[in-house]
C-alpha cells in the first residue's frame, strides 16, 4: 500500500525580475509503507524540493501529493500543520534542535503538540532515548551535545510520535563517516522494528548503499524508473 503518492508534480519558483526556475518537472512516484528509500542526485536536482512537497512544507505548482491517501493541495495551513504533526517526522541536515529546550523537551515537542500529558511524554521520550543510546542526555541542552548526539535527538523527535513517514534531508551531511553510518543503522533498525517509512535525500554513497530503493533526480526529473 502506497503511503506517499506523487503525481505529475511540478514546482516552479518565480521571483520578480528572474526567469522561472523549474525545481521539479512532472515528477511521479509511489512510496510503499515501510520502505527505506533514498532520493539521490546532485545539488539542485530537486531532492529537497520533493521532500518539502511530500512533507507539506511547500506547495506544488501543479500535480498532486498524497500522504496516507490524503491529498495535500486542498489543505489549509492549519490542516497541513496537523497532518505533519500526526503523520510525518522530519530529520534535518543541521539537526535544528531548539537550543532553549532540553534534549527530552525537543524530542517530546511533537507529543506536546498532540496534547500528550507530561508524564506520558517523558516516559515515551525516555523509552526512545534508551533505545537509541541517549538515556543519560534527557536533560542535556543541545549545545552541550555532539553533532551525532544532536542528530540522534532529532531522530528521536521524528519517531517518538510514531509517524507514518520520516523525511530526512541529508541527515548525515554534517556527521563524520562513522557517526553517519551509526545513525543510518539506527534508522534502519527503527524502520524494521516499527515499520516507519523512511525517505532520505542524499548524495552520500554510504547512505545510498543502505537504502532499499534509490530514486535518482537530475534537473528536477526522475532519471531512474520508480518501482
Interacting residues with another protein (CB under 8 A): 49, 52, 55-59, 77-78, 81-86, 88, 90, 92, 96, 98-101, 105, 108-110, 112-113, 118, 157
Task: Give φ, ψ of 135 to 5 degrees.
Answer: -55, -35
51 or 190: CB nearest another protein: 51
Shortest approach of another protein to residue 76 CB, angstroms?
10
- Toward another protein, which CB reaches closer, 87 or 210? 87
How many other CB atoms sit within 10 Å of the CB of residue 117?
A: 10
Of 76 and 136, which CB lies nearer to another protein in the complex structure?
76
Nearer residue to another protein within complex by CB, 75 or 214: 75
CB of 21 to another protein, least distance (A): 13
Instruction: Report the alpha-carbon distance of residue 223 to residue 208 in Å, rounded.
Output: 16
Q: Least distance to another protein from the beta carbon of 14, Å?
A: 13
Cell numbers representing residue 65 in the block = 501529493
CB 196 within 8 A of CB 165: yes
Strands (E), the chain: 2-13, 21-32, 36-40, 62-67, 70-71, 88-91, 165-169, 197-202, 213-218, 221-222
**Shortest Å, Cβ 218 to another protein:** 21
Amino acid at each position: 500500500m502506497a503511503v506517499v503518492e506523487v503525481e505529475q508534480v511540478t514546482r516552479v519558483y518565480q521571483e520578480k525580475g528572474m526567469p522561472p526556475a523549474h525545481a521539479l518537472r512532472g515528477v511521479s512516484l509511489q512510496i510503499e509503507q515501510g520502505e527505506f528509500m533514498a532520493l539521490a542526485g546532485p545539488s539542485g536536482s530537486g531532492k529537497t524540493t520533493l521532500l518539502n512537497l511530500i512533507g507539506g512544507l511547500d506547495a506544488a505548482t501543479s500535480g498532486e501529493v498524497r500522504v496516507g491517501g490524503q491529498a495535500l493541495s486542498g489543505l489549509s495551513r492549519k490542516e497541513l500543520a496537523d497532518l505533519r504533526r500526526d503523520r510525518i517526522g522530519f530529520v534535518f541536515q543541521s539537526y535544528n534542535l531548539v537550543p532553549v529546550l532540553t534534549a527530552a523537551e525537543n524530542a517530546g515537542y511533537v507529543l506536546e503538540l498532540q496534547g500528550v500529558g507530561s508524564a506520558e511524554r517523558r516516559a515515551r521520550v525516555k523509552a526512545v532515548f534508551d533505545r537509541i543510546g541517549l538515556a543519560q542526555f534527557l536533560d542535556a541542552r543541545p549545545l552541550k551535545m555532539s553533532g551525532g548526539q544532536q542528530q540522534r535527538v532529532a531522530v528521536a523527535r521524528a519517531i517518538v510520535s510514531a509517524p507514518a513517514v520520516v523525511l530526512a534531508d541529508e541527515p548525515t551531511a554534517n556527521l563524520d563517516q562513522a557517526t553517519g553510518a551509526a545513525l543510518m543503522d539506527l534508522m534502519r533498525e527503527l524502520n524494521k522494528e516499527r515499520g516507519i517509512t523512511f525517505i532520505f535525500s542524499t548524495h552520500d554513497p554510504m547512505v545510498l548503499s543502505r537504502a532499499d530503493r534509490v530514486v535518482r533526480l537530475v534537473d528536477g526529473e526522475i532519471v531512474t524508473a520508480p518501482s
